[in-house]
C-alpha cells in the first residue's frame, strides 16, 4: 500500500536558519502530494501542494518540489521564524479520496 516517510524530529533551528524537512513516498501511479502544518493546540492546515511531477508548491515562504525520480517532496524554507514552530506533515492522495500521512516532524525555532 501507499506510505509516506518523514525525517524524525524534533528539528531545532535558530531564527533565520535554512529549513529542510525530508519526505519520501511509496505509491503506485501518480499521487498528489501535500504538506500540512499543525500549530500548537490547533487542527491541520494545508500549507502547499503539488499534483504532478516537477510541480513546485509554495506558500508563506515554504517550497516543495514533486520529484518523481526520487519519490520525494522535501519541504524547504530559506529563513525560518519563531512563528513557524509547529508540526509538519507530509501526505499523499493516490487517486482515492483519503490522505495517507507521514509521521510528522516537529519544528522548534529559537529566537
Partner 1 sequence: SAVISQKPSRDICQRGTSLTIQCQVDSQVTMMFWYRQQPGQSLTLIATANQGSEATYESGFVIDKFPISRPNLTFSTLTVSNMSPEDSSIYLCSVGVMGNTGELFFGEGSRLTVL
Q: By the criterion CB under 8 A, which residues form the site for partner 1?
A: 31-32, 34, 36, 42-46, 49, 51, 89, 93, 97-99, 101-104
Residues in the chain: 111
**Least Å from the CB of residue 79 to partner 1:** 26
Residue nearer to partner 1 on the CB measure, 71 or 93? 93
SS3 content of the chain, % helix, strand, coil (to 5): 5, 50, 45
Residue nearer to partner 1 on the CB measure, 76 or 101? 101
Residue nearer to partner 1 on the CB measure, 41 or 111? 41
Task: Please provide the DSSP assignment of 53-98 as one string.
Answer: TT-EEEETTEEEE-BTTTTB--EEESS--GGG-EEEEEEEE-SSSS
**Least Å from the CB of residue 98 to partner 1:** 6
Residue nearer to partner 1 on the CB measure, 73 or 89? 89
**Least Å from the CB of residue 57 to partner 1:** 10
Phi-psi group of 71: left, alpha or beta (phi > 0 → left; psi -120 to 50 → alpha; rest → beta) = left
Amino acid at each position: 500500500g501507499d506510505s509516506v516517510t518523514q525525517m524524525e524530529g524534533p528539528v531545532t533551528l535558530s531564527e533565520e536558519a535554512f529549513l529542510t524537512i525530508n519526505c519520501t513516498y511509496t505509491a503506485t501511479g501518480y499521487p498528489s502530494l501535500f504538506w500540512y502544518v499543525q500549530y500548537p493546540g490547533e487542527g491541520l492546515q494545508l500549507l502547499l501542494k503539488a499534483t504532478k511531477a516537477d510541480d513546485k508548491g509554495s506558500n508563506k515562504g515554504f517550497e516543495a518540489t514533486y520529484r518523481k525520480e526520487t519519490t520525494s517532496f522535501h519541504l524547504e524554507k530559506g529563513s525560518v521564524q519563531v512563528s513557524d514552530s509547529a508540526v509538519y506533515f507530509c501526505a499523499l492522495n493516490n487517486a482515492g479520496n483519503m490522505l495517507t500521512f507521514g509521521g510528522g516532524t516537529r519544528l522548534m525555532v529559537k529566537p
